[in-house]
Amino acid sequence: MKKIIILLASLFMIGCVSVGDIKKESPVMNKVVTGNYADISRCVVSGMESDSRWTVSSLNYDIRVYSDNKTSEVIASASSGFTGKMTAFRLSTKQINQKSAHVDLRGLRYDTENALEYLKSCVK
């Protein structure tokens, strides 16, 4: 019985991707853009949530805005009964000056490509 429980627990852990794993991924976008750090994050999430594709709009979004150091972070994740919670992508932004912010987008290929579409439309 213990072997079955260990086997099932292992199966649930397969496919789980953490924020730490995402940070190791190569960035899809890593550059300075025109815009406000918090507005960029909110714009990307707003676009993703209103997307008609269920694989995009069904993600869970955790938006963290740190006004003291002018940074924000969006962590998008998907939940599954089989694999648990899986981080899809991470977007971090940091205000550089009054008009510019640095953006760093990393994650799983499909979800990150969708986020990149919205990110490009949210920045100038």
Domain count, the chain: 1
Q: What is the pLDDT of residues 28-41, one digit of tens each?
A: 899 999 999 999 99
- How much of the chain exceeds pLDDT 70, in percent? 78
Q: Which of 73, 90, 74, 77 is nearest to 28 (CA)?
A: 90
Alpha helix (H) residue ranges in the chain? 2-13, 19-24, 37-49, 54-57, 109-122
Whole-number pLDDT of residue 6: 41
Whole-number pLDDT of residue 4: 42
52 or 24, greater pLDDT: 52
Which range of residues forms the domain containing residue 34? Answer: 2-122
Q: Which of 6-10, 21-25, 116-120 has the lowest mean pLDDT?
A: 6-10
Q: Residue 49: give its domain's CATH number.
A: 3.30.310
